[in-house]
Each structure stands twice: as C-alpha cells, then as structure tokens.
Amino acid sequence: MFTGIVEELGEIAELTDLGDAARIAVRGKTVTTDARHGDSIAVNGVCLTVVDVDGDTFTADVMKETLDRSSLGVLAPGDPVNLERAALVSSRLGGHIVQGHVDGVGTIVAREPAEHWEVVTFALPASLERYVVEKGSITIDGVSLTVALVNESPASSSAPSLASSPVAVSPVGEITFSVSLIPTTLALTTLGHKGIGAPVNLEVDVIAKYVEKLLGSRSQRTANGAEEGRE
C-alpha cells in the first residue's frame, strides 16, 4: 500500500522490450537506500516488485497487462518518474489509501498557471467518470491529489484524443476534472513537467469501488427477493 506522497523524482535508466513484457531499470537515490529483492515501489503510480538493486538503480519486470493499462509502455530512458516506497504500518497516512493499481490512463487537456499554484485539467476514461467527485481523492501518476472541480462538458477539441494515443486505454468520456498544484508538487513530481496531451496514470479511490460493489450486490439481492415474493 502507498499514500500518494512522492518521495523523489527518479529517472528511467533502461527499458528492455521482452515481447509480452518489459524489464525496467529505474534510478532513484532515496528509494534504493533500503530496497531489497521483493520490495514494492510505485513508479508513476504503478506498484512494481523489485527484482534487483545495483547502487542507486533498481530493476523490475512489467507484464503486458500493466503495459496495456498504464503509461509505463511509452516511457524512454531519461524520462522522469515519480517514486514512492510502500508505506510502513507505523508511518503517517499523508495522502490517502493508494494501491498502486492503475484504473486507467487520462490525458492533460489544459494548464492554467496562477501566481502561487497551477490548475491542471485532465480528461477521464469514460469508465472512471462515476468515481470522481469534487473534494474527493484521486491518484495521478502516483500523486495523491484532491479533485478541485469536475467539469461536465466535453474535453477541449484541440486536445489529443486518448483513442489515438499509443497507450491502450478506455475511450475518453465527456467529463474532465481539475486539480490545483502547489509549487512543491510542480517542482518535485512529473506533473510539473508534462505538457498538453501527455498521458497520466489514474487510480480512483478504492473505497468508492468497494461501496459500489456492495450496494450493487444488495440491490441485486433485494431484486431477487422481490421476484421470489411474486412467485
């Protein structure tokens, strides 16, 4: 489990195509200080298992499922990545509960700089629209953020469509959402460097998914009970 509080901005050292998988080498001085084989490290919000550690670089294997459902497949050597080690039971939950399981890939459709912060707007895959609410939590490239605004209008027509992206993702819906980024987030994470059209990994609040599942099961049981009562 993670908290969405990025520990450092690392760098892709090497990426090897294995056909139906990839081996990724990531450079990060902080996260490798105590990293061991089998540990979990989130790379742009994707939970990866450490295979080996060599100095300030760790390697991890990325299966096809992960490449298809995240933006890791479009990374190249030299690209910056957000890094976070798994949370300790004794640590503070500075962000929110983050699993490192990407739900979909969004895209940046607008950036509006202000004097002391920047508002960034993202297009959502249609399948995730129902999980994103104002003042709710969302993880973007591994960063725990609060949704400032949900925009129920089509994404900008000038922004690249995810349908044409090299990343295999769900179609973009008609809802976008915005977050406000403070200077620290802009300086110390990938979100301060990505431009319009850049893909981002999204993980919605896991609590929302469980609540939906439980309510759906209860509604189904109620419906089944009503059907039996009419027989």
Reported as a single tens digit per residue, the pLDDT across 32-86 is: 999 999 999 999 999 999 999 999 999 999 999 999 999 998 999 999 999 999 9
Amino acid 37 reads H
CATH of 8-85, one of 2.40.30.20, 3.40.50.720, 3.20.20.70, 3.40.718.10: 2.40.30.20
Tens-place pLDDT, residues 94-130: 888 899 999 999 999 999 998 889 999 999 999 999 9
C-beta of residue 179 within 8 angstroms of C-beta of residue 146: yes
Query: Is residue 172's pLDDT more than 80?
Result: no
- Top-tier CATH class for 104-207: mainly beta
Break the chain into its structural domains and give their ranges. Answer: 8-85, 104-207
pLDDT at 223 over 90: no
How many whole angstroms separate alpha carbon 59 and alpha carbon 70?
A: 18
Q: Which two tokens stand for residue 66?
A: 């992960």
Mean pLDDT across 172-186: 88
Candidates 21, 109, 28, 25; CA nearest to 73 is 21
Burial of 89 (0-12, 13-18, 19+ CB in 10 A): exposed
Question: Greater confidence, 155 or 216?
Answer: 216
By mean pLDDT, which of 121-130, 160-169, 182-191 is the weakest?
160-169
Residue 171 pLDDT class (50, 70, 90 cuts): very low
Q: Tens digits of per-residue pLDDT, 18-36?
A: 988 999 999 999 999 999 9
The secondary structure of 188-228 as a DSSP string is HSGGGT--TT-EEEEEE-HHHHHHHHHHHHHHHHHHHHHHH
Mean pLDDT of the chain: 86
Task: Pick the closest to residue 169 from 107, 121, 125, 123 (CA basis).
Answer: 125
Answer whether 8-85 and 104-207 agree in fold. yes
**Inter-CA distances, 78 with 11, 15, 25, 165, Å:** 6, 10, 11, 21
